Structure formats: C-alpha cells, structure tokens
Structure 1
Amino acid sequence: MANNLINNSIITKEALMIRRNTNDFLKSLSTEYQSQFARSGGKIGSTLNVRLPNDYVVQDGATVNPEATEERSIPLMIGYRKNVPMSFSTQERTLNIDDFSQRYIAPAVNALVANVSITAMDLCMQASNMVMNTDPNGNILPPSSNTWLRAKAMLTACNAPIGERYAALDPFSDASVVSGMMGMFNPTNQIGRQTIEGQMGSKILGVDDWFQDQNMPISQAGSYDSKATATGAYGTYTPNGAPVTTISASASPHSSVITVSATNGTIERGAIITIAGVNRINRVSKQSLHQLQQFVVLDNVASGATSIPVSPAIVPPNADGTPVPYQTVDAAPAAGAVIKMLLPQGAVVRRNLLYSKRAMTMATVDLEMVNNGVVDCGRASLDGISLRTLTYYNGSDDTRVTRLDVLYGFGMLRPDWAVVVPELVE
C-alpha cells in the first residue's frame, strides 16, 4: 500500500483551521481592504491609502457658499513578515493528520499567531478614549457593568456603528468582570457560560462578543503631575520633522502637537489626556457635548518637554463659532488651559478594550507560490488570513524543513471608535 504522505496543502489548511480557534482579537478585526493588495495585473505595492468618510457642514438659507471637498485617508502598510520553521523526516510526514497536527502544526501555529497578535495589540495603544471605574478619591476600581455601559455610550457618541462591537479583556480582568456581573443576566446560556466556563459570553450589554487575550497590553502611567498648561499654540504632528506618510506605532496622519509649558514628569505613549475648555462634539451635527475631549498621546514625552503629540487632530470651529468640515472639538486650546492625564501618576493598568470592528483593520498578502527548488508549497486563505507553507530539502543534515509564513499589516482607522477600560494591576 502506498504511503499517505501529508502534503503542504493539507498542512496549510489544517494550520488555518487551528488559527481560527487560537485568537479572537485577530478574528474580530476588519479585513475589508485585503483584496486590494497583490492583485494580478493591478499590484499597488505595500501601501494602500484607505479613504475616510467625507465630512460636510450644513448651511442655512437659499444662498450657498460652495466648499471644496477635502478627502482624507489613512495609509495601510504591509510592513510585517513572520515565519515559523519546522524540520520533519519523511516518516513524521506519513503520520495521520490528527497526530501530525497535534505534535507539530498546533505548536507552530500557536507561536506564529501569538507573535502576530502581539503586533496587533499595538493598535490598543492608539485608542483615543478611556472610561474607568473610580471611587470618590480617584482610586481605580475593577470595571463594573456601568463602566462598560459608559464605554458603549462613548462609542455611540463618537458615531461608531451600533453593531459588531467587541470587548477584549486581559485574563485577570475577565475574571474580575465575570465575578462582578455573574448571574445579573437573564439568558440562561449566558449565565451557564459565566458559571461553568468562567468567562463572559456574547451579546451582553450591547457587545457582540467578549473574549480574553493574554496579550492585552499592560502599561504604566508616567510621572506627569497634570499641571502643565497650553500656550494656545498647536499644529500638525510630524515625527522627526518629516511629513507623516504611514500609520505606525508612533504617528497618525491625522494628529496634532500641543505646545505647553514644560512638563513636570513623563507622559507615556498611549496615555489619555484632556485639555481644559476643549470639549468633544457630535461629529455629525458639530454641536458640543460639553464633555472634555480625550486625546491619546502618540509618543513618549520626557519630563521638561514643551510639546505633546496627540490624536485625534485638534480641529476647532471658525473664529466666529461656525462649524468646519472634520471638526473634532468645540474650541481651540486657550493659553493657560491645564493639561490633565486621566490615569494617576505611576499607575500600572491592564488596557482592556471595547471597540468597533471598523476601528481597526488587518490585511495579509498572498506570498508567491514557489515551484522551483522546493519539495512542496501550499497556500490558502481562511477568514481573510492568508498563509503559505513551503518545504525544502536541507542537504547538510538530510532533513526536510517546512516553514509557515505570513505577510501582513495593521491600521488604526478610527482611534475614537476604541475605548480603553483600565483595571489596576495590584
């Protein structure tokens, strides 16, 4: 009887099936722009400029004052390549798929997906909103149901779509949330999941799915004393003096830099700050919501610094108060306005996240199928994730080496459609 060898097509498909059950955060990201890359006859390279919705201002009366449409976009860059190499003998590749999958494919895929997930989690550091549970003295408490409802309200206030909202929790935060809300929900299947599996379910508090992820970021607030004041000046943030052309860990193409008096203490990247007198608005009606606009700090700020890079960009109304396209706040920072950091000095927190599916996007690219000089090559796509496996012969030790490769990129399209819900690490 002929040997039933496991080929690379089988390995690739099995690896993708394992990946589907490995990381809920990656599964929740939008992949709607993936098809734009590596199209036969129309390749666009490694960067796609994702257009944001156009924004207009409603005018009164019969007379119109036409305004030019200013389109805005955020570049999505394919900038990451990860691989896992594995060495097999022919005998090992003759095993049945269950044994082969458990012994070899699953550990490799778990390592690969974890590494990709860690890269993706950097997007959490670009979320521009925060809702936390505190006592009257300002001490951070574990998130309650009211905390999550306020975070959901924050998304709605920022005009995020009502559906496809997800909550990603650190495992310890998940334990706190389940403990605090166990039994408060009527659906018996949800109560069963909480009590039997010890984790949150789906479709609770207006959130489509709750899941835990051990790669959720843990960050420490800086030592800033929240006493620096704005000078009234602000401008477009250009890291290292160069125009922003790609979205990265340290920059967003729609961001600002606030000029301030020298800071006493450091502000860490990912910190959320407010500016006295600068309130958030309804992005559609341009009416003030009379709540301080929150900004995420895009780069580490050293003690004594006189500028702070933030997102979203500061776009105030005209001097006479009339609204403008892409307006983000009800007023520009005034000289003397106090800059406050939301987290207490030095606080170490788990950065749980409530977000809209369309806040972030991921794209993987089909790597070339190699036929010459290799033993076998396979490529497949599942749930928008493309994976290639390639086997080649290593004559130096008479083995066959199989490598799993993924080429991908991430983009934070709407920082305001993601809300950090912190829990103190104690």
Structure 2
Amino acid sequence: MANTILTHQMIAREAAKMLEEEAPFIANINKGRQDEFGKDTQGYTKGDTVKIKIPTAGRVFSGAKFAEGNSASAVIEESVNLTLDTQKHVALQFGAKEKLLDLTDFKDRILRPQMQTLSSVVEADLISKGVVSVPNQVAMNLAGSNPSNALALARAKLNQYLAPAGERSAILSSTANVALSGEVSRMYNPTRVSEKAYLQGYVASAFGADLYEHQSIAVFNNGTAVAITVTGANQTGKSLVVTATTAGTLTKGTVFNIAGVNAVHPLTGQDLGVLQDFVVVEDATVGAGTAISIFPALNATAPNKTTSTLPANGAAIAVKSVNGFQNLEFHKDAFTAAFAPLPVLASCEGYTARLPSGISVRVMTFGDGNEDIERTRIDVLYGFQTVRPLHACRITQA
C-alpha cells in the first residue's frame, strides 16, 4: 500500500494529544478560559488578558432586624488576571522523505521525542509558578513508617479550606513515590485505572486524589534573612512590615507562620487552633521595617475573615518552607491555564489543533527549495494563574 503524505493537520492533532498525555499537571488543572480572550484579525495575541472573578464569603447576621440594625456588608469580590504571556516551541528540520513515513513511524521516531521535551519544559514552568503561590504545607518523612500520612494531611488542608471533593490530583517526585509504594498499593482503587491510565506517570488513587510520579517537580530554596519579627501591631491586608535581626532575602514562595495568628474556618470564622500558613508572593530583601507582600491577607473580622487575630508588634515569624522538592496536591480549580490557538503566518503552511480539553498546538512549516528541506516549528502560547491558592497544598520531603 502506498504511503500517505503526512499533513500538518495530522501532525498537529497528534502533537496536541501527546502534549496532554505527557503532562499530568496540565491535564488536571482548569483550561476552560480560552474563549474569554478576544480575537483580532490574526487570532490570539501574546499579552491578551482576562480577569477572573473569585467569589468570597459574606457575613451572617442574627435576629429579625436587617443586618442587626446596621448596614449590610459590602460585596467584596477578589479577582486575578490571566495573561497569555509565554510562547515556547520546538524546531524540526526534515525532508520530503520523512513526510512519506507512516504516521506511526513519524510519531515514534520524530514527533514524540520533541513533544516530550516541549511538555516537560512547559510542565516545569507551570508547576514552578503554581508551587510558589501556595501557602499550605505539610511534610513527608521518606524514611518513616507512615509516609502516606502526608497525603492525609494534605487532604485535610484542602478540606479545611472547603476545596470540593473530587478532581484532586497530587504530583510526586520519584523518591516520594518509592517511599509511598508499599502503602499506596494497599489503598489502590482499581476502578480508576481506565480513566487515568493514559496520562504519563499515573500511579494510583489514594486519600481522594489521583497520584502521579513526575520528573518536573519544583525545587524551592529559602532566602537568607534570619530572626524575623513583625514591626507594628494590628497590621491588616496583603502587606506586612517586618524586621530581620540578620538582614537578607525572603524568596517568593517562602511559607511562614506568625506567632499567635491562627487559621479560621473560611465561612464561620471559628478559630481552628492551628497557626495560619502564609506565603511570600514577591521576592524581598528584608532589613529594618521592610514591607513584604503576603497571601492570604490579614483580616480578623467578617466578612472574609482569614485569621483569628492580627499580629502583635514583635511577634515572631517562623519560616516553615524547606529547601528541596515541593510535591503538590491540588484541586482542579486551584489553578488555571489557557492555551491559545496561534494563527498560521502568511506564506507558511500549517495547522492549529485544539483539543476539547482546551490544549492548542500550532504546527507551521516554511521550506528551503534549494536544499529540499522544510523547517517546521511546533508552538504553544499559554498563560497561567493561581486562582484559589488555599485549594492546593505543598508536600515537602525529607
């Protein structure tokens, strides 16, 4: 039977499917916002932005009198921006004879290695952006008798902040997966195999989450500031003024606790009796009286109460984050990504494939007739944003 010449459509569709199959983090986060971006005559544009609204909790009043005789609470709605700001591609060069390959041969010999590289780089980029935005953190003892306890603790953190049950995933380093292997095999739920087996790295389902062994787990390193305390009592909002006895840096993604400041129930505001985890959202150099950006915001009153009390002047700040791998458990809607369908440029041949899941990949070719070769690029244009940081939890390992 004669060979069929491979088309850009065939290659693009296979490339898009491979990107999803090789990228379990991308496959398990929200990707439903592409249609919210405006289109111009050339399709999607790098830099396009949409605003994502995040509903927040209100305040419940007692009695028959409206708002207990006071004014109703103002409606406070948080928002974050999702911007198409990252474009990555792989570059291929092949001649007419490669285009005559059987599709299966082309996939295995040429396309899959390139898409594995592209998906690994994109996954690593998105995971690293996601991890440093998450304040919740638990620890896994790799050498202990019960490393799976960390999965239970991460599940409890997500439950604490009312993350919906279902559509939860955890990406784990190979060393964490080895430590868990004996226990997870006993908890394994075989009914999920057919649903998740196509995704690279799928291991099992346990503690309400699908577990994936992943080779692009983010690595985090703390800064150099030492002996940090709060400077000024009763501070509120997303900024906190602090002083370090030994001046130094606080890196973006640093998780810390403030003495005496506990977590609260997201709706009732009840003190949960455990310290609230905060995360530094921008790199800072800390000396005397330095303002740092944090999440969640400090607010000890309803609505949108986040802490049991406000920090006292001189309250000690304890850095909780540790250097090394940052495994991650998350609900699907904790993060969102948008993959925009790039247009094929004038004078080029190509095709942009878009999967129902929201992933888009462009394959575009321009030729060199003198050398009888074609140069082909496979591109993705995407944006990423953390929408609900409290619906995820970092799992450190030691």
User: Which bin holds the TM-score, normalised by the shorter protein?
Assistant: 0.7 to 0.9
Q: Distance in 2 between matches of 1:373 and 1:187?
A: 52
Superposed CA deviations along residues 94-120 of structure 1, whole A, max 9, x for unmatched, are 111111111211122112111211210
1:150 aligns with 2:153: yes
What are the within-5 Å matches in structure 2 for residues 102-121 of structure 1? 102-121=108-127
Deviation of 1:286 (Å): 1.6
Q: Equivalent residue for 1:176? A: 179
More displaced, 87-96 or 396-405? 396-405
What are the within-5 Å matches in structure 2 for residues 352-391 of structure 1? 352-370=327-345, 372-374=346-348, 376-382=349-355, 383-391=357-365
What are the within-5 Å matches in structure 2 for residues 3-14 of structure 1? 4-14=4-14
TM-score by length of 1: 0.82
1:60/1:270 Cα in 2 relative to 1: closer, same or farther (>3 Å)? same
Q: Equivalent residue for 1:204? A: 206
Q: 1:143 touches 1:422 (CA, 8 Å); kept in 2?
A: no
Q: Distance in 2 between matches of 1:152 and 1:115?
A: 28
Q: Distance in 1 between matches of 2:124 and 2:18?
A: 18
Q: How many residues align?
A: 381
1:348 aligns with 2:323: yes
Identity in percent: 28
Q: Which amino acid aligns with 1:60?
A: S
Q: 1:131 touches 1:422 (CA, 8 Å); kept in 2?
A: yes
Q: Distance in 1 between matches of 2:160 and 2:227?
A: 26
Q: Which amino acid aligns with 2:342?
A: L
Q: Equivalent residue for 2:386? A: 412
Q: Equivalent residue for 1:26? A: 26
**Candidates 307, 330, 334, aligned match of 2:291:** 307
1:385/1:75 Cα in 2 relative to 1: closer, same or farther (>3 Å)? same
1:396/1:270 Cα in 2 relative to 1: closer, same or farther (>3 Å)? farther
SS of aligned partner of 1:13: helix
1:189/1:71 Cα in 2 relative to 1: closer, same or farther (>3 Å)? closer
Deviation of 1:54 (Å): 3.6
SS of aligned partner of 2:19: helix
Q: Equivalent residue for 1:242? A: none
Q: Distance in 2 between matches of 1:72 and 1:327?
A: 14
SS of aligned partner of 2:274: strand
Q: Which amino acid aligns with 1:423?
A: Q
SS of aligned partner of 1:91: helix
Q: 1:190 touches 1:201 (CA, 8 Å); kept in 2?
A: no
1:331/1:119 Cα in 2 relative to 1: closer, same or farther (>3 Å)? same
Q: Equivalent residue for 1:217? A: 218
Deviation of 1:359 (Å): 0.3
**Candidates 255, 258, 264, aligned match of 2:240:** 258
Deviation of 1:330 (Å): 1.7
Q: 2:341 touches 2:362 (CA, 8 Å); kept in 1?
A: yes
**Candidates 291, 310, 317, aligned match of 1:332:** 310
1:100 aligns with 2:74: no
SS of aligned partner of 1:210: strand
Q: Equivalent residue for 2:198? A: none
Where structure 2 has 5 or more consecutive residues not aligned to the other structure, the ranges are: 194-200
Q: Equivalent residue for 2:253? A: 270
Q: Distance in 2 between matches of 1:273 and 1:402?
A: 47
More displaced, 79-88 or 300-309? 300-309
Deviation of 1:355 (Å): 0.9
Q: Distance in 1 between matches of 2:149 and 2:258?
A: 25
Superposed CA deviations along residues 220-262 of structure 1, whole A, max 9, x for unmatched, are 23344445344226465xxxxxxxxxxxxxxxxxxx2211223
1:130 aligns with 2:130: no
1:258/1:187 Cα in 2 relative to 1: closer, same or farther (>3 Å)? closer
Deviation of 1:183 (Å): 4.7
Q: 2:243 touches 2:286 (CA, 8 Å); kept in 1?
A: no
